[in-house]
Structures are given as C-alpha cells and as structure tokens.
Chain A
Amino acid sequence: MILCRRLALAVLVAVVLASCGGTSAPTEKKTDLFRIAIGVDPDTLDPIGQTTTTVQNIVDMAVETLVTIDERGAVKPLLAERWETSGDGLQLTLFLRRDVKFSDGAALDAQAVKLNLDRMLDPSLKVPLRGIMGDAIKGVEAVDSRTVRLTLKQASAPLVAALSQTTAGILSPAAIRTAPNTYKDVQKIVGSGPYVLKEFVKADHLMMTRNDAYWGRKAIYQAQEIKIVPEAASRESLVLAGQADMIILPPVADLAALQRDPKVKVKLADSDRTIFIAINNLRPGPLQKPEVRQALNYAVDKKSIIKNVLFNAADPLDAPMAKSLFGYCPVGSYDYNPGKARSMLAAAGASDLQVKLISPQGRYIQDLEAAQAIAGNLRDVGVKVDGPAKSDWPGYVATITKAPAENTTQLHVLGWAPGYLDAQQQMEQFLSLRWPPKALATSFYKNPTVDTLIQKANAGTDASARKQQYCDAAKQVWNDAPWIFLWTQRFPIVFSSKVKGVGSFPTEKFYTVYAEPA
C-alpha cells in the first residue's frame, strides 16, 4: 500500500516535471514552430467555399491566387506575372509565371488555372463569395500553356482586384480529384504556397509545414500551428503565458494593458471595415429628410466614443468608405455639434423624433456598447430612442434584409468590409439596385445621380475617370447622409516580443509567412 502511494507520487512528480519542460518558452532563435491563435473554427478550407477572412488567412498560406495585394492594398502580380485588358474591356489576358510548382510536384499551367476558375464559376457548386467574378466572367480559355484569357460579359475594372480574393485560389488539379477531395468539396488543400497543410483537427488546431520547394522567398519557420481558441480572454492568456507567438482579436478592453506589457507587442492593423448606423431612408416620417439624417450625424460624438468605448481601436470616417479603397477621397466630417443637431431637428419639424435602434452583439468591436453610447448622444439632442435592442447574428441578418414592404427597421448598426480594395463593393451599399432582399444596401437609399455615377465607375476602364466618379458619388452620399457615418475599425494583433515580421493587409488579414525570431 505504501509502496503504491510512493509509486503514484513518483509518477505524478515525473509528469509535472515533464510538462514543465514541455510548456516552457522555446529557446532563442529557434525556428521550428510559430504558434498562432484564432477564434473561428474553419467550416471548410476549400477556397471556393470559405467565407471568413480568418479562414482565408490559413488558406492563403498554402494556396496562391493569380494576383495579390501589398500591405497598402495595391494589386500586384503573384501566379500571373502580368495581365492585359483589351481595348473594349471585354477580354482580360493573364500571363502565368513559368517557375511555379504545386506542392505535389505538378507544374502550374493555363489548364490548371482554367480548371480552378471554371470550378469557381460553376453554378452547381456552393460558392458564396463569387461576387463580381460570377457577374463579369463569361468564359475561361487556356490560350497556351502559360496564357489564360477571360472573356467578359461586360467591362469590369475591379475584376483584376477581385481575382486577388482567396475564392479565386488555384489548387493543384490532381488534388481536386484525389480522395478525400471531390470536385464538389475539397477538404485537403494542395496549392503552390509557401506552406503545406499537414493536419487539421477540427475545433482544435491546424498544422502547416514549410514548402521547401516554394518558387518564391521561402518561409522562416519550419511549421506554423494555428490553434482554434474561441474565447478572446483565453487567446490573450495564451500569448501572455508564452504558449502562442501571435493572436488576433484580444479583449479590446485589455488593449492598453497589453500595450504596456513588455512581453508582447500590439499591432492595431488597418482594416477596410466601415462601421455605421444604417438609417431606413424609406421609413415614412422625418427619417426621409436629409436634414434630419444629417442632424443625427452631428449628434454623435464619434471621437469620444472611439476613445472611451472602443479603446482607440478605430478611426472616424471622412468618407463613406475606408481610406485603403481605390476610389477613396476625403469628403467631409460631421464634427460633434449637439447644438447644431438640435436646431436642425427643430427646423425640420422633427424635435419630437422617435427612433428604434438595434445592434448586433460581439460581431464588431464593442458594437452594442457603442450603440448604447450613441443612443445616449441622440437622447442628449432630444431624440427619443428605443433601444439599442440586440439579437443574435442570424436573427439580426434576417431582420435587416427583409424587403422594403415588410422591413420595420429604423436605425441599425452594421459593418461592411469589401473583400478586395476597390470602391465597387463598398458603393453597393448606395446602389438602389442592391436593396434587400436582392442584396444588402439596407438603408434603402436612392439617388439617381449616385446610381449613375456608381454604375459608370463600375464599368469604366479609365482608372482616373473611375476614381473621380466614385469620389463624386461619395460626396453626394455624404451629403444625403443615408447612414450615421461612424468609423473604420482597427484589426488588433498581439504578438510575442520574441518574434518580428508579423504583417497585415487592410482586408482584415494577418501575414506570418515571413515572421522570424526577434
């Protein structure tokens, strides 16, 4: 009996000692493993099937696209070394690099690109983010082994930028048809990227190993592990305990404390996500008047809410789109002015305005908390605010996407983040063709001048003319105030002081391929 107890004690001590060795911080300059923690459990890694930027980050490590963007968001070559648009804008020809091999050894050629693009365009498959690629592309043709020609239904200037999206990623043709993968559903991705997917344990982690045959600059860490940690406080604990080298989206209230902590560094990366309160412009009553909507804009103290509620993880909007988009120009600011708001409401005969405000919770940084502060601002200028009422995201989307006749919203908080950095996808919010239930222009805004400008810019081929058209449209939108314009939120990344080279893109993506020990 005593022997047994001693044995048990010895085993326990051994286990504890072994574990201490296992979880202690890695020695300096080791490049065997880089550990990341994210919050979302990937539904699928199939480039055509995924829908979230977090998942795109992982897919992008292994699967490359024809073009990509740089850290500021400008389009640059990747698998295609250059491209040409025909004079009438109806043909886009892409010339592929010669030196690219997939990680299964197959060479990249035009047939492989055609197979992938055809699959992405196949109407029988579930491709949520096909977007304008589906609208614009009529056919894909492999002209020769390294030339791919896209025939278009109509000229589409943003198409090249759209091809930088993970949805248009190029998989090895053999992998698409090798079990467990099927043409309909690819589970194990094989691409040409700097890392290779090694293992995916659902809801737990993914393991990527370095592609030593990569055609470009090779990654530094031999492997990257992506842990799936849904709780923000637990992600924060991971990086503080030295069990992760990088996390995204810590609890935002802890940002200041993290910034002071010498063990970690905080990067508040730029994001193209605009946060706004959509005003139902069709709602009978005062909300139909632009002056009333402008007054609501003056009533909200954006700067102080960003400082006190969002812990500085946002920047006030000065246009109806983020600064990183092609087509952005600064168009104005509704500086906090409660006195002006009050007198504008009185002048418009809306002193007794009553509104209902709804907000999601946990979808955007401090969304409901900000909505509460905004409700307070509106009450300060005499508006009677009912809310903010919250609901879970599925119910929320169902409420705000009802057709005009059944739509009962008045004010609702929403975020909008284009997948590629062209104003086209952002300005859909102001295109009357895109009202629900067709799409998500949920403020039901309509201005024929704006409609025309946007449609011209979308189809145009001259870059400077397009830019001007988006800019003109943005000025008109700003003046008509279909939204309460709030802010673009930042994308917080926290990484250990022992690493450097953690990058980001303005599309809410992080970039760790060239991370290295500090």
Chain B
Amino acid sequence: MHRYLARRLVATLPTLLGVATIIFLIVHLLPGDPARLIAGLLASEQDVARIRSQLGLDKPLLAQYVIFLGQLLRGDLGVSARTNASVVSEIASRLPYTVALAVISTVIATLAGILAGILAAARHNTRLDVLISSVALFGISMPVYWLGLMMIIVFSIQLHWLPVAGAQEPLAYVMPSLTLAAFSVALVARMTRSAMLEVLGQDFVRTARAKGLVERAVLLGHALKNALLPVITVVGLQFGALLGGAVLTETVFSWPGVGRLLVDSIFARDYPVVQGVVLVFAFLFILVNLAADLCYAYVDPRIRYR
C-alpha cells in the first residue's frame, strides 16, 4: 500500500513537468504583450520597454523557459507581474476559499445525489423516478450563471436573507455552494440510479431478498455498496473539476477564489500566475484521483494495491 502510494506520487513528477512545459508554451504564444498591458495605453514606449526587461520578457524564449524550470525545481513559482507579490502567496490567499466551496458542494452533491439516486432506483418506473430524473436533467442543463443570478434575485433582493457577494460570513457560503452543487447533484443522482438498477438485478440481491431482509437493508447494506464504485469515480472527477472550474460561480458571487485569479491573470497576461495556478490545479487533480483510487479499495475489499 505504502509502496503503491509512493510510486503513484513519483509518477506525478513527469506529468507535472509536461503540464509546466505545455502551459509555458501556451501562455507565451498567446497574442498580447504583458508589459504594454501592465503599463496601460497611455504609457510611453520607454516605460513599456523598462517593464518588459523588469519582467525578464526581453530574454529569448528558451532562456525564459530554463529560468522558469530552474525556479520550479526550487519550489519557486515566481512573482506576479501585476501585483509584485509571490505567486505562491497569491495562490495561498485564494486557495482556501476555493477548497472550502468545493468540499461543501461536493458533500452536498454526494449526499443528496446518492439519496435521490437510490430513491429513483428503488421506485424504478414510478412517478417519483420520473420526477427525480427530470429534476436531474434540469440540474445538468441549467447554466450556473443563470441559476446564481436567479438565487440572488430571490434570496437577496426579494427576501433579504442572504448576502449577494463576498466570503466573509458563514451565510455567504449558502448560494455559491448550492449553485455549484446543482450540477453535481444531478450527475451523481443519475449515476447512482443506473448503477443501482444494474446491481438490483443481480443474483445476490435476489438472495438477500429471499432470505427475508427488509428492503432498506437490501438497498443500503447490499446493493449500494456494490453500486458505489462508479459513483466514487464521478464524485472524484467532479471534485477535481470544482477545484479548478468554479470560475463562473466565483464571478457571480464575487467569491475570492483561485478560478477568478486565473481568469484575471489570463486577461492581464500575467504569465507567472497563470503558470502557477495551472500547475497547482494539475497537482490537486492528480491527488484527488489518487484519493478516489484509494477509496475503491475501501469500498471493494477485492481491490488490493501493491
């Protein structure tokens, strides 16, 4: 187990190097001059040139790549071209907000999604099943942007219950995490339903029912545990995506997370921050996948990692 973990962690290194190289190339090939953007339209050519050399952008691309990799090996992601603060501190000040939101909405999505999925499967082909499946379809197809603004209109403008923006009070978590969870709930519910339906048709379920177990024990004790593997995969992927892809939700609710940092940095061509954020996202995504793999072994004792 420990050897497996160590091997998987070592295997992340080439992946990260690949990600680093690709993102370096992408940001440097994008049209747009960071020095001119930082200086603004009114700045003189001399000031723009000075800023360009202060950012090290006057060096050849290969030299910039070597410097970037050298810094990376020392664990240094560089300094933001926009704010002069270290990229590590920029990301560190935003990451807790993003992680908190991702964790809360994943918990909501997992609990509500699995429950809805079990109900739909247990009441297969009834009105309840149709209702849950339709709501799930609605949840998957609804743009988060629209859902977020609708919630603001109802809960902030009409009812005065919840804050529109910011992350400085507990209630501020309600709307962003529900908005984020909406899509995942639907996905988890649909996945649980189909996995449960498959398992419920198998022999061991019939045996469980034949020996007189109550339906709840059959569903939760026998069927669910066997249906969970694909659900864990989906939850893991969704959690990974939430860590990196909550940009729209963060924008609508003015959430000070990493997604907005990335978008702001792309529009400012702040190369070091874009590179740093993408690398951190890649690393987190790898970790989450690893955690999902380890969960398989917990849920299914037949799986062993060596």
Contacts and interface: CB of A to CB of B under 8 A. Distances in A.
Interface of A: 15-16, 19-20, 22-24, 37, 41, 43-44, 49, 51-52, 123, 126-131, 134-135, 184-185, 187, 201-205, 227-231, 233-234, 237-238, 240-243, 391-395, 397-399, 401, 416, 418-419, 425, 437-440
Interface stretch (B105-113, B121-129, B158-166, B215-223): B158-166
Interface in B141-175: 149, 152-153, 156-157, 160-171
B267 A439 contact: no
Contacts of B33: 394, 397-398, 401
B156 A19 contact: no
Nearest to B55: A126
Contacts of A227: 165-166, 254
Interface stretch (B40-48, B182-190, B197-205, B233-241): B40-48
B193 interface: no
14 contacts: A15-B170, A16-B161, A19-B162, A130-B44, A131-B43, A135-B44, A187-B85, A204-B168, A230-B254, A233-B149, A237-B149, A242-B160, A401-B33, A401-B36
Contact of A425 (B38, B42, B47): B42
A439 B161 contact: no
Q: What's the dominant secondary structure at chain A's contact region? A: loop
B162 to A, nearest CB: 7
A395 B31 contact: yes
A416 B36 CA distance: 15
Interface of B: 30-34, 36-47, 50-51, 54, 82-85, 90, 93-94, 149, 152-153, 156-157, 160-171, 251-254, 256-257, 260-261, 264, 267-269
A241 B34 CA distance: 38
B84 to A, nearest CB: 5
Contacts of A130: 43-44, 47
A151 to B, nearest CB: 20
Interface centre among A233, A242, A394, A437 (most CB of B within 10 A): A394
Contacts of A185: 84
A41 B264 contact: yes
Contacts of B34: 394
Given A41-B264, A204-B166, 11 more contacts: A20-B161, A52-B40, A126-B51, A129-B39, A129-B40, A202-B256, A203-B260, A227-B165, A231-B251, A237-B149, A237-B153
A439 B251 CA distance: 34
Contacts of A391: 31
B269 A231 contact: no
A510 B205 CA distance: 69
B84 A397 contact: no
Given A185-B84, A203-B256, A399-B31, A127 B47 contact: yes
A231 B264 CA distance: 13
B41 A397 contact: yes
B66 to A, nearest CB: 24
Contacts of B165: 37, 227, 229, 234, 238, 243
A184 to B, nearest CB: 8
Nearest 6 CB-CB pairings of A with B: A394-B32, A203-B256, A395-B31, A128-B39, A43-B82, A241-B156
Contacts of B54: 126
A275 B231 CA distance: 54
Contacts of A237: 149, 152-153, 156-157, 164
Contact of B42 (A16, A131, A229): A131
A43 B254 CA distance: 16
Contacts of A37: 165
Nearest to B171: A19
Contacts of A20: 160-161
B277 to A, nearest CB: 13
A228 B33 CA distance: 26
Contacts of B42: 129, 131, 418-419, 425, 440
Contacts of A49: 84
A237 B155 CA distance: 11
Nearest to B153: A237
Contact of A203 (B41, B46, B261): B261
A243 B94 CA distance: 23
B41 A416 contact: yes
A234 B94 CA distance: 20
Contacts of A401: 33, 36
B254 A394 contact: no
Contact of A134 (B37, B44, B90, B161): B44
B85 to A, nearest CB: 8
Contact of A234 (B40, B152, B264): B152
Contact of A205 (B50, B90, B164, B166): B166
B251 A230 contact: yes
Nearest to A16: B161
A391 B32 CA distance: 11
Interface centre among A23, A203, A416 (most CB of B within 10 A): A203
A202 to B, nearest CB: 6
B31 A51 contact: no
Contacts of B51: 126, 128
Contacts of A23: 160-163, 171
Contact of A126 (B50, B157, B167): B50
Given A229-B254, A241-B156, A394 B38 contact: no
Nearest to A25: B160
Nearest to A233: B149
A234 B255 CA distance: 11
A13 to B, nearest CB: 13
B41 A440 contact: yes
A241 B160 contact: yes
Contacts of B40: 51-52, 128-129
B303 to A, nearest CB: 34
A242 to B, nearest CB: 7
Contacts of A399: 31
Contacts of B163: 23, 243
A24 B164 contact: no
A419 B31 CA distance: 27
Contacts of B46: 134
A494 to B, nearest CB: 14
B175 to A, nearest CB: 11
A386 to B, nearest CB: 19
A256 B70 CA distance: 56
Nearest to B79: A185
Nearest to A414: B41
Contacts of A437: 45
A397 B30 CA distance: 12
